[in-house]
Amino acid sequence: MINFVLLALLLIVAVGIMRLQDLFAVTMLLSIYGLMSATFFVAMDAVDVAFTEASVGAGISTLLLLVVISFTGRAERKTRHKPYVALFVVTVIGMLLLYGTSDMPYFGSSDAPIHNHVAPRYINDSMREIGVPNIVTSVLASYRAFDTFGEVVVIFTAGIAVLGLLSVSSKALSNSQPLNRPRGLYQQHIVIRIVAKILLPFIFLFALYVQFHGDFGPGGGFQAGVIFAAAFILYAMTFGLDAATAVVKPAVIELIAAVGVLLYGSVGIATLLSGGNFFDYDYLLADPIAGQHLGILLIELGVGLTVTCVMVMICFGFSLRRKAHEQKAVMNISERGPK
């Protein structure tokens, strides 16, 4: 019953996102949408997914959208052409998809095809074969480790692409004078500074717990990486970007992102060299279960490192670009002129 209420709320929020013109309001609604869908995932038993969606959908994506809106302005212009074509396309596709659902198995039925092929093996045998209570972790990190490797590489590539698109030369930033506009939160809001100081060690500790407790409860490298990154971004927001880059240089972050992918890949190479298949952790140590534990630990660590560093890298990329913009703002405006 809970899922119907949540789905109804999700629909309402989605319609609101479609109707509103103010991009800031849309971003706030998207954050609410993230919260709601994560709650829906909890109601559907997908706790690991809820974990990720909570930290990504409500945290990082809101943050990125806000940074970009602070570049581009929050008003959306009304489109001039009439949306009849779009409405037609959407209605036709929607009708076809709805027609397609008539063959689908009913919600929650245990004899649906999806539950009858590999899933019983994962549920019944994973404890014997992998020795990890969280089945999602054993599927993610052991049975389908090659798949996850591909996804980590995609994340890494996306990070590099963002860096390539947004990086500004550090010379351009350091040569220019610091602006003496009223600085952000870190000088005006002493309360936030103190509360952030209290919270930050706790968040880092909690991220470590999520990283290493992922075998036994909800959690793992992806979730921990995002939480780590969020904590680091909180530090950058409350104490200023300069303080954050003084703690870890951007070059070091880029290096660690690459090290994470390399660590993941080299675990695969190590299993090849010790006589197994790619990512067959049974061969890492003499005892297959201990080998599985070591393999999962290492690749979750690799995933965590890469995800943390890519998220931090992306956010720093946007923030540095924004900073460069603010310094050049006056010049740009006079250059561009009225069109």
Partner 1 sequence: MILGLANTWVAIVLMMIGLYIVIAQGNLIKKIIGLTLFQTSVFIFYISMGKVAGGSAPILAQGITEYSNPLPHALILTAIVVGISTTALALSLVVRIKETYGSIEEEEIQAQDES
Partner 2 sequence: MITAATLAIFAAMILALVRAFAGPTLYDRVLAVNMLGTKTVLLIALLGFVMGRPEFLDIAIVYALINFISIIAVLRYSDSNNFKDPDQKSISKEL
Partner 3 sequence: MELLISISSGLCLLVGSFICISGAVGVLRFPDFYTRMHAASVTDTAGMVLILVGLMMVSPDLLVLAKLVMILLLGLLIGPTTSHVLAKSAFRNGVKPKLTSNSNDQGGDTSKS
Distance of CA 258 to the CA centre of its chain: 17
Interacting residues with partner 2 (CB under 8 A): 2, 5, 9, 12-13, 16, 20, 22, 24-25, 28-29, 31-32, 35-36, 38-39, 42-43, 45, 47, 50-51, 54-55, 58-59, 62-63, 66-67, 69-75, 77, 182, 184-185, 192, 196, 199, 203, 206, 210, 217-219, 223, 227, 230-231, 233-234, 237-238
Nearest distance in Å: CB 133, partner 1: 4
The interface with partner 1 within residues 217-256 (CB under 8 A) comprises: 217-218, 220, 222, 225-226
Query: Hey, how many other C-beta atoms are within 10 angstroms of the C-beta on 214?
Result: 28
Provide the minimum distance between the beta carbon of 237 and partner 1 in the complex, in angstroms, as a whole number: 17
Contact between 254 and 309 under an 8 Å Cβ cutoff? The reply is: yes
- Which partner in partner 1, partner 3, partner 2, none is near 328 (CB below 5 to 8 A by kind)? none
Shortest Cβ 256–partner 1 spacing (Å): 16
What is residue 169's three-state secondary structure? coil
Burial class (CB in 10 A: 0-12, 13-18, 19+), 14: middle
Question: Least separation, in Å, of the C-beta of 24 and partner 3?
Answer: 12
Whether residue 67 contacts residue 318, with contact meaning beta carbons closer than 8 Å, is answered with yes
Given CA atoms 4, 8, 11, 17 in this order, what sign does their dihedral have? negative
115 lines the binding site for partner 1 (CB under 8 A): yes
Q: How far is the CB of 320 from partner 3 (least distance, A)?
A: 24
Of residues 199 through 228, those in contact with partner 3 by CB under 8 A are 199, 202
71 binds partner 1 (CB under 8 A): yes
The answer to whether residues 142 and 296 touch, using CB atoms and an 8 Å cutoff, is: yes
Per CB under 8 A, the list member of 28, 65, 173, 203 interacting with partner 1 is 65
| Closest distance to partner 2 from the beta carbon of 258 (Å) | 26
CA distance 206 to 213: 10
Find, among 158, 160, 164, 166, the residue nearest to 321 by Cα. Answer: 166
Amino acid at 76: E
- From 222, 311, 305, select the one nearest 258 (Cα to Cα): 305
Strand partners, 75: 22
**Among partner 1, partner 2, partner 3, none, residue 260 binds (CB under 5-8 Å by kind):** none
Please tell me whether residue 265 binds partner 1 under the rule CB under 8 A.
no
Convert residues 185-204 into a mask of x (bound to partner 3 by CB under 8 A) and - (unbound): x--xx-xx--x--xx--x--
Q: How far, rounded to the nearest angstrom, does the alpha carbon of residue 18 sit from its chain's CA centroid?
A: 24
At closest approach, how far in Å is the CB of 198 from partner 3? 7
Nearer to partner 2, 271 or 319 (CB): 319
Regarding 268 and contact with partner 1 (CB under 8 A), the answer is no
Element (H, E) at 120: helix 119-129
Backbone angles phi, psi at 75, to 5 degrees: -90, 135
Confirm or reject binding of residue 48 to partner 1 (CB under 8 A).
Answer: yes
Amino acid present at 214? G
Binding site for partner 3 (CB under 8 A): 185, 188-189, 191-192, 195, 198-199, 202
